[in-house]
Amino acid sequence: MSSTVDRRRPVLLISVVTVLAVAIVAWLVWPSSGGAQVQRSTQGPYTVQLSVEDPRQGGNVFALTVTGATPDVVTLEPVMPRMGHALAPSPAIAEGPGRFRTGDVLLPMSGQWEITVSLRGPSGATQHVFPLLVK
């Protein structure tokens, strides 16, 4: 009887570890509907709120709200420092007072990105860097 219990323990342990490993992998790769990611930064005369709906590999539209001073030019530049990727800056178009939106900004791979928002206007120029995890 003791030998039967001893033989079952390794099988049970392996089964539990396998189930946990599968659950963790499924959780990591399961597509999420994370919703909008909203971040805020203040530098100099500008406070910038960056919003992106469920950031993903491929095209993403970024919405920006700027308070404080009014910028003349707003651009958004994605950089992936770990991989050495830097994409060309994308202009953000004014939609109304203090509200800007980009066109589709292509993020070619998943991982940790840094989104640099540059503002220039009569009150000066600033850069705001936002971390963004793309799935």
pLDDT given for residue 25 in this prediction: 63
Nearest-angstrom CA–CA distance, 65 and 74: 11
Q: Which two tokens stand for residue 54?
A: 């469920």
- Name the region of 40 (left: φ>0; alpha: ψ -120 to 50; beta: rest): beta
Given a contact cutoff of 8 angstroms between Cβ atoms, the answer to whether 129 and 104 are in contact is: no
- Closest Cα to residue 105, out of 95, 94, 96, 115? 115
Q: Which two tokens stand for residue 53?
A: 């709906």
pTM of the model: 0.74
User: Domain spanning 36-134 has what CATH number?
Assistant: 2.60.40.10
> Residue ranges of the domains in the chain?
1-30, 36-134
Given a contact cutoff of 8 angstroms between Cβ atoms, the answer to whether 12 and 25 are in contact is: no
Q: Which residue has the higher pLDDT, 74 or 28?
A: 74
Residues 6 or more apart whose Cβ sits within 8 Å of residue 40: 47, 48, 49, 50
Give yes or no for residue 1 having a pLDDT over 80: no
51-108 residue pLDDT tens: 999 999 999 999 999 999 999 999 999 999 999 999 999 999 999 999 999 999 999 9
Nearest-angstrom CA–CA distance, 123 and 126: 10
Q: What one-letter code names the amino acid at 26?
A: A
